[in-house]
A = this chain, B = another copy of it.
């Protein structure tokens, strides 16, 4: 529980606390993160942090709510975009790219939570983040089928799996060097080129007319 005390703090102090917590959780995950280390880094007493958030879990929850808030923004912009299905898919991937580039630490926290059991708030946290494919990707693809831009025999579950998986994997590769070393640390321009190549794959796999309308 975030107490009133924390909200009364000067905004810049709130930010400093949040920033330090994000850094610590991104580096070490929930269990290995150390409250002592954070407090030392911040130069405040341990008691203060516990007055603010009640517990380590409370602090983590605050970080998590902050992350979900930041994540909602780019998503809305992509949802209302114009263009055909593939243009809109591309835009949503670009939105993901931008989020990961601006908040790499939050994305790293997400990945750690995903593959680590016993993390508090894991289920609700993942459910909210994954609302992405449920509330956004799927309707977009359904719409694409209605418009005849996608193959009529497409299995929707698998199409969602394909796109969601490839998008996530691309962002992972850009964030975690070991996932796919060749794709790590690309420049802005190179990253865009990779996105174009990826969209070309997806078009060939899903489009109604073998994806050759762009020749």
Contacts and interface: CB of A to CB of B under 8 A. Distances in A.
A112 interface: yes
Contacts of A126: 178
Contacts of A161: 169-170, 173, 180, 182-183
Nearest to A168: B169
A82 interface: no
A11 B194 CA distance: 50
Interface size class of A (residues with CB under 8 A): 35 or more
Interface stretch (A46-54, A91-99, A115-123): A115-123
A197 B158 contact: yes
Contacts of A117: 27-28
Number of copies: 2
A27 B28 CA distance: 17
B166 A165 contact: yes
A7 interface: no
Nearest to A155: B197
B165 A180 contact: yes
Interface stretch (A69-77, A142-150, A198-206): A198-206
A114 interface: yes
Interface string A6-39: 0000000000000000000001110110000000
A31, A115, A169, A173 interface centre (most CB from chain B within 10 Å):
A115
A11 to B, nearest CB: 31
A109 to B, nearest CB: 10
A22 B115 CA distance: 16
Most chain B CB neighbours (cut-off 10 Å) among A111, A118, A126, A165: A165
A197 B162 CA distance: 10
B118 A198 contact: no
B176 A157 contact: no
A101 interface: no
A169 B165 contact: yes
Nearest to A165: B169
Contact of A205 (B111, B158, B160, B205): B205
